[in-house]
């Protein structure tokens, strides 16, 4: 048989190397090397790339999103890459019963995109639930992976533990299969580049596996789906003011839309350490390093330079400097955001209407190709 079937894939893969999912650390190293390569190609020929990425609409975006992903997406867009952003509303219900006020949250997320510099004339912003053909791809894709493979996904495992701890809820079928749904997000538009943090690398492996197996099974000579590459975002984990990774659900985040007063209060509460002299030592002094990275990113300098500038003036001075950098750095974004929010619901509605129309056009075409290749076009 040409293609190893999902059911025939052993729990500990012994199949052909091409079909064996590499371990996370191995794939991290590979992805790092490849990312450097990709950056070079991006500089030379940005038009070769279509990027797909996105967010779960669980709340307005925060400083962590800006540093880890948002600014990078805008950079890619401005470099001439075709950027497609999914507002992953179906992912919200993977691990909770109450999705909250989705229309309101989706609106906040889209406003954050636009305020950060995503330009709807060049980039596409769409929501999962509005694109039926994307979701239909999930069915053939699910046939290409085994339960054992899904069970090994470390991100899904971690999220299941989290859901259990937070709300005593067992893993839903949608949480279990969401990496495959994410493969549909990426492959429906045949994106060939996905900016990811470390934690999302296993998902990209799933996408690559799905693309490879689909091609082997249904388009063995020509291929159909690209195996998308990871663009590893330099790991810019931003800490919240409790010292843990900034996240909406932990309640330790500074939202991009926050006021100046809230920004001042946020950094007043931020943690530092007991050493007076400020230095940039990420391993040994994570809290201080975090403030330096945030301040440097928004002031357009480097953490090391910022550390030198503060030096003996200590943590109090560091907080003041970082607060000013964030207040000043976010001012244009916040002004744009407030102006758009004041313009009423039409702004976001129009962006999504346009993005969803484009996503549907692309998804319909892909699904038609897929059905053709699978031999399920009957008329
Ligand atoms: N899982 C991503 C997050 O947690 C959002 C997302 C959905 C995504 N589909 C994607 C990211 C496809 C990259 C590619 O925010």
Task: Give the pLDDT mean for 319-334.
Answer: 98
- Give buried/exposed letters for 307-323 (b at 16+ CB in 10 A, else e): bebbeeeebeebbebbb
The best mutation among 31, 53, 187 to test binding of ligand 1, ranked by most ligand atoms within 8 Å of the C-beta, falls on 53
The minimum-distance atom of ligand 1 relative to the CA of 88 is 7
Give, to the nearest 10 degrees, the angle between helix 24-44 and helix 71-79: 40
Pairwise CA distance, residues 351 & 368, whole Å:
26
- To which H or E segment does residue 126 belong? strand 124-127
Task: Give the pLDDT mean for 57-65.
Answer: 96
Task: Give the pLDDT mean for 365-369.
Answer: 98
Residues 6+ apart with CB under 8 A from 281: 288, 289
Residue 1 clears pLDDT 60, i.e. is over it: no
Q: How far is the CA of 301 from the centre of ligand 1 (A)?
A: 29
CB of residue 86 inside a 6 A radius of ligand 1: yes
Pairwise CA distance, residues 309 & 311, whole Å:
6
Residue 233 clears pLDDT 70, i.e. is over it: yes
Q: How far is the CA of 314 from the centre of ligand 1 (A)?
A: 39
Q: How far is the CA of 377 from the centre of ligand 1 (A)?
A: 30
CB of residue 57 inside a 6 A radius of ligand 1: no
**Entry pTM:** 0.90
Q: How far is the CA of 98 from the centre of ligand 1 (A)?
A: 20
Q: How far is the CA of 347 from the centre of ligand 1 (A)?
A: 24
pLDDT on residue 24: 53
Residue 22 clears pLDDT 60, i.e. is over it: no
CB of residue 348 inside a 6 A radius of ligand 1: no
pLDDT on residue 235: 62
Kindly state the tokens that stand for 221. Answer: 């000579």
**Lowest pLDDT segment from 84-93, 191-200, 274-283, 289-298:** 191-200
CB of residue 201 inside a 6 A radius of ligand 1: no
pLDDT on residue 33: 85
DSSP state of 278: -
CB of residue 88 inside a 6 A radius of ligand 1: yes
CB of residue 54 inside a 6 A radius of ligand 1: yes
Confidence of residue 237 (pLDDT cuts 50, 70, 90): confident
Pairwise CA distance, residues 286 & 270, whole Å:
12
Task: Give the pLDDT mean for 293-318.
Answer: 96
**Lowest pLDDT segment from 27-31, 209-213, 327-331:** 27-31
Task: Tell me which residue has its CA closest to atom 15 in ligand 1.
Answer: 55
In this structure, are residues 278 and 310 in contact, taking their beta carbons and an 8 Å threshold?
yes
Task: Give the pLDDT mean for 206-223.
Answer: 97
Query: What digits encode the pLDDT tens for the residues 88-124?
Result: 999 999 988 888 999 999 999 999 999 999 999 999 9
In this structure, are residues 55 and 88 in contact, taking their beta carbons and an 8 Å threshold?
yes
Confidence of residue 210 (pLDDT cuts 50, 70, 90): very high
Task: Give the pLDDT mean for 53-61.
Answer: 96
Q: Which residue do the tokens 């012994």 mark?
A: 14
Minimal CA–CA distance to 311: which of 281, 286, 279? 279
Q: How far is the CA of 304 from the centre of ligand 1 (A)?
A: 32
Residue 6 clears pLDDT 70, i.e. is over it: no
**Which stretches within 7-153 are classed as H helix?**
24-44, 63-65, 71-79, 89-92, 102-116, 132-142, 147-151
CB of residue 52 inside a 6 A radius of ligand 1: yes
Task: Give the pLDDT mean for 48-56.
Answer: 97
Average pLDDT, the chain: 91
Share of the chain above pLDDT 90, in %: 78
CB of residue 186 inside a 6 A radius of ligand 1: yes
């Amino acid at each position: 048989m040409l293609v190893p079937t999902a059911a025939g894939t052993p729990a500990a893969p012994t199949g052909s190397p091409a079909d064996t999912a590499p371990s996370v650390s191995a794939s991290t190293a590979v992805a790092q090397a490849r990312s450097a390569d990709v950056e070079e190609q991006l500089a030379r020929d940005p038009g070769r790339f279509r990027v797909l990425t996105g967010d779960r609409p669980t709340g307005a975006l925060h400083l962590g999103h800006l540093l880890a992903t948002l600014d990078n997406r805008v950079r890619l867009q401005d470099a001439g890459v075709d950027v497609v952003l999914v507002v992953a509303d179906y992912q919200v219900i993977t691990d909770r019963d109450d999705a909250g006020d989705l229309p309101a949250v989706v609106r906040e997320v889209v406003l954050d995109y636009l305020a950060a510099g995503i330009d709807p004339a060049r980039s596409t912003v769409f929501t999962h639930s509005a694109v039926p053909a994307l979701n239909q791809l999930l069915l053939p894709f699910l046939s290409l992976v085994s339960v054992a493979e899904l069970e090994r996904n470390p991100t899904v495992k971690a999220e299941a533990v989290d859901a259990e701890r937070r709300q005593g809820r067992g893993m839903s079928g949608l949480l279990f299969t969401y990496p495959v749904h994410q493969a549909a997000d990426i492959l429906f538009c045949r994106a060939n580049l996905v900016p990811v943090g470390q934690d999302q690398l296993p998902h990209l492996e799933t996408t690559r596996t799905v693309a490879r197996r689909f091609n082997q099974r249904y388009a063995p000579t020509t291929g159909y789906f690209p195996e998308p590459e990871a663009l590893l975002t330099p790991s810019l984990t931003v800490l919240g003011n409790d010292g843990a990774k900034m996240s909406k659900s932990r309640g330790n985040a500074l939202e991009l839309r926050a006021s100046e007063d809230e920004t001042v209060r946020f950094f007043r509460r931020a943690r530092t350490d007991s050493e007076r002299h400020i230095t940039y030592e990420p391993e040994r002094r994570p809290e201080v390093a975090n403030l330096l990275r945030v301040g440097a990113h928004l002031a357009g300098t480097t953490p090391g330079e910022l550390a030198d500038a503060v030096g003996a003036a200590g943590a109090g001075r560091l907080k003041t400097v970082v607060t000013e950098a964030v207040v000043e750095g976010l001012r244009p974004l916040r002004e744009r955001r407030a102006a758009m929010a004041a313009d009423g619901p039409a702004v976001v509605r129009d962006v999504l209407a346009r993005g969803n129309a484009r996503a549907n056009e692309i998804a319909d075409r892909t699904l038609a190709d897929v059905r053709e290749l699978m031999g399920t076009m009957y008329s």
